[in-house]
Amino acid sequence: MKNPIENLNKVFDSRIRMGVMSILLVNEGVNFNDLKQMLGVTDGNLASHLTNLEENGYIKVHKGFIGRKTNTTYSISKAGEKAFKEHIEALEHMIRIVK
């Protein structure tokens, strides 16, 4: 028997990681502060989730400067886009089974 939730990606179980992926899928290049503001989370919390996504190769990090201040922007990677779309499809699939 096929496991109905095997296509769900464990990485996206966390609401914050799911939120980050949702934002990056429709916006190219979002900086740390905008992400923080949109998700309403603390610095440390967001940073650890971003590290996790980066280690999984789902997001790309661009370190830049505006004047002297660091400006780090994040964007979704090809692998991340594929993985997140599969996750969404898996969610949709589960809803169809229930109906």
Binding site for another protein (CB under 8 A): 1, 3-6, 15, 18-19, 22-23, 25-27, 30, 34, 37-39, 88, 91-92, 94-95, 97-98
Name which of 63 and 95 has its Cβ closer to another protein: 95
Which two structure tokens, joined as six digits, stand for 90? 């898996």
Name which of 73 and 77 has its Cβ closer to another protein: 73
**CA distance readout (Å), 57 to 1, 11, 26, 76, 98:** 31, 11, 18, 9, 32
CB-CB contact of 20 with 49 (8 Å) = yes
Name which of 61 and 90 has its Cβ closer to another protein: 90
* Nearest distance in Å: CB 57, another protein: 20
